[in-house]
């Protein structure tokens, strides 16, 4: 059982990112929505960004998640948006749904989860958490650093990579990124006693690599702080220096042509941006240009199962011999084209280079 008990409800703030999608009446600052059981247990906080349009009846439609939070909160965000009445407008826009827990007793926060199960395996689910109450720091160096951060109104962050082993225990815990190394041991101590239902494949438990993002700060963490910290924990990937090999697909799932889209005569190309990790698994998958909600979902589900041969950086060692090392978070773009009657093709490319600034 968790040391901290929380209300089963949460204030959800909807922010209209652009103007085309307008509420008919003045909206309250927030509405109430149910947390998913797993997200409430894990005390996951952050934002889900959903794209959609307002139909003729004023209801949001063609909703799709463009920034995921996970643990069932993506679905809860869509449910909350569907409660609103909007002015009809065919232009798409983004809606941000902020999830926050106002009654936290611990100063540790979970703001990101990333499960990377092997192809064909299910992801682990969280059964037990162990947040320390109050300050929740264990080492003298972190205590002193915490006092300084509190005086400055700042937060510490640590991204931990680990495996949920076949028994549901976090194993091989390592620090992937942190604001300051004095927080590393404390963050690992927070995670160490968590327990999971392990991932399953072919009826057997399997180890699943994961990354969890933790923040230490005030008990009530503002959504703007969460967004800023997520950007620092996972900055947009930048092309590495040196000669980079294009990733080779080693496992591919072809998305089917959804029957309802085919019957409606929908054709076009779905553009998906993602990054390829050192393990060859896709990460940060996002549909940047869609054509139909059913097709977009089909493409996203299929691409999440793709696996690549790790991308390599070619160079030389100190003694002058050639070497290739795997690179993390290599940005890629995949375009999946749908053409009637039943043709689906995929093309893998690099993202376009940023335009040079005008002088």
Closest Cα to residue 311, out of 322, 332, 327, 323? 327
pLDDT at 19: 34
HSE of 177, CA atoms in CB hemisphere, 13 A: 13
pLDDT at 301: 87
- Structural domain including 152 reads 108-233
Determine the Cα–Cα distance for residues 115 and 296; give it in Å rounded to an integer. 21
Residue 40 has which token pair? 């409430």
The region, left, alpha or beta by phi > 0 then psi within -120 to 50, assigned to residue 103 is: alpha
Do 56 and 33 share a structural domain? yes
Report residue 206's pLDDT band, with 50, 70 and 90 as the boundaries.
very high
For the entire predicted model, the pTM comes to: 0.61
Do 251 and 208 share a structural domain? no
Residue 26 belongs to some domain of the structure: yes
Do 306 and 328 share a structural domain? yes
| Number of domains the chain contains | 3
Residue 337 belongs to some domain of the structure: yes
Over residues 24-48, the pLDDT tens digits come to 443 434 445 678 999 999 999 988 8
For tokens 């307008």, the residue is 22
| Listed residues 99, 121, 144: the one ending a domain | 99
CB contact at 8 A, 102 and 45: no
Tell me which of 248 and 164 has the higher pLDDT: 164
In whole numbers, what is the pLDDT of the chain averaged over residues? Answer: 78
Residue 255 has which token pair? 């998305």
Over residues 313-358, the pLDDT tens digits come to 654 333 334 445 566 677 888 999 999 988 888 888 877 654 433 3
Do 216 and 143 share a structural domain? yes
CB-based contacts of 69: which residues, under 8 Å, 6+ apart?
Answer: 39, 44, 46, 47, 48, 77, 99, 112
Determine the Cα–Cα distance for residues 346 and 331; give it in Å rounded to an integer. 17
| Listed residues 233, 252, 271: the one ending a domain | 233
Do 218 and 113 share a structural domain? yes
pLDDT at 172: 94
Residue 261 belongs to some domain of the structure: yes
Do 250 and 293 share a structural domain? yes
Residue 47 belongs to some domain of the structure: yes
Do 194 and 115 share a structural domain? yes
Residue 354 belongs to some domain of the structure: no
Over residues 107-161, the pLDDT tens digits come to 899 999 999 998 889 999 999 998 888 676 666 666 677 676 666 667 888 999 9
* Average pLDDT estimate for 193-211: 94
Instruction: Output the CA–CA distances (angstroms, integers) from residue 235 to 15, 140, 213, 228, 273, in the order listed.
Output: 23, 30, 13, 10, 15
Q: What percent of the chain has pLDDT over 70?
A: 75
Dihedral of CA atoms 280, 281, 284, 287 in degrees, nearest 10, equals: 100
Do 269 and 314 share a structural domain? yes
Residue 356 belongs to some domain of the structure: no
Residue 358 belongs to some domain of the structure: no
Most confident of 14-28, 40-54, 68-82, 204-218: 204-218
E-strand ranges in 233-316 read 243-244, 248-251, 268-276, 282-289, 307-309, 312-316
* CATH number, domain containing residue 201: 3.30.2420.10
For tokens 């004023």, the residue is 58
* Average pLDDT estimate for 198-226: 89
Do 287 and 336 share a structural domain? yes
Determine the Cα–Cα distance for residues 9 and 85; give it in Å rounded to an integer. 22
Residue 315 belongs to some domain of the structure: yes
Do 299 and 229 share a structural domain? no
Three-state SS sequence of 189-242 = HHHHCCEEECEEECCEEECEEEEEEEEECCCCCCHHHHHHHHHHHCCCCCCCCC
| Listed residues 75, 99, 123: the one ending a domain | 99
Do 136 and 172 share a structural domain? yes
Do 47 and 138 share a structural domain? no
């Amino acid at each position: 059982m968790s040391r901290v008990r929380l209300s089963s409800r949460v204030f959800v703030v909807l922010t209209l990112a652009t103007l085309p999608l307008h509420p008919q009446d003045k909206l309250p600052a927030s509405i109430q929505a149910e947390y998913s059981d797993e997200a409430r247990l894990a005390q996951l906080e952050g934002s889900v960004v959903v794209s959609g349009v307002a139909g003729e009846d004023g209801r949001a439609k063609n909703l799709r998640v463009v920034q995921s939070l996970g643990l069932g909160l993506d679905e809860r965000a869509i449910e909350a948006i569907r409660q609103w009445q909007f002015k009809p407008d065919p232009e798409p826009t983004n809606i941000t749904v902020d999830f926050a827990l106002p009654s936290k007793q611990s100063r540790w926060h979970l703001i990101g989860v990333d499960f990377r199960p092997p192809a064909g395996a299910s992801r682990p689910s969280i059964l037990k958490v162990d947040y320390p109450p109050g300050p929740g720091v264990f080492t003298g160096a972190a205590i002193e650093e915490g006092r300084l951060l509190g005086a400055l109104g700042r937060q510490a962050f640590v991204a931990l990579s680990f495996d949920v082993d076949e028994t549901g225990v976090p194993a091989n815990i390592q620090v992937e990124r942190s604001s300051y190394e004095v927080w590393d041991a404390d963050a690992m101590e927070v995670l160490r006693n968590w327990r999971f239902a392990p991932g399953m494949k072919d009826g057997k438990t399997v180890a699943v690599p994961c990354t969890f993002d933790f923040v230490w700060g005030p008990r009530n963490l503002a959504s703007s702080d969460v967004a800023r910290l997520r950007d620092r924990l996972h900055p947009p990937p930048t092309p590495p220096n040196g000669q980079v090999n294009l990733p080779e697909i080693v496992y591919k799932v072809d998305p089917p042509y959804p029957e309802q889209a085919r019957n409606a005569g929908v054709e076009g190309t779905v553009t998906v941006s993602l990054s390829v990790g050192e393990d060859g698994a896709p990460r940060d998958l996002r549909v940047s240009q869609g054509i139909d909600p059913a097709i977009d979902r089909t493409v996203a589900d299929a691409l999440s199962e793709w696996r690549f041969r790790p991308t390599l950086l070619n160079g030389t060692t100190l003694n002058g011999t050639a070497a290739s090392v795997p690179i993390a978070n290599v940005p890629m773009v995949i375009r999946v084209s749908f053409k009637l009657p039943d043709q689906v093709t995929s093309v893998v490319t690099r993202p376009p280079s940023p335009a040079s600034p005008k002088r």
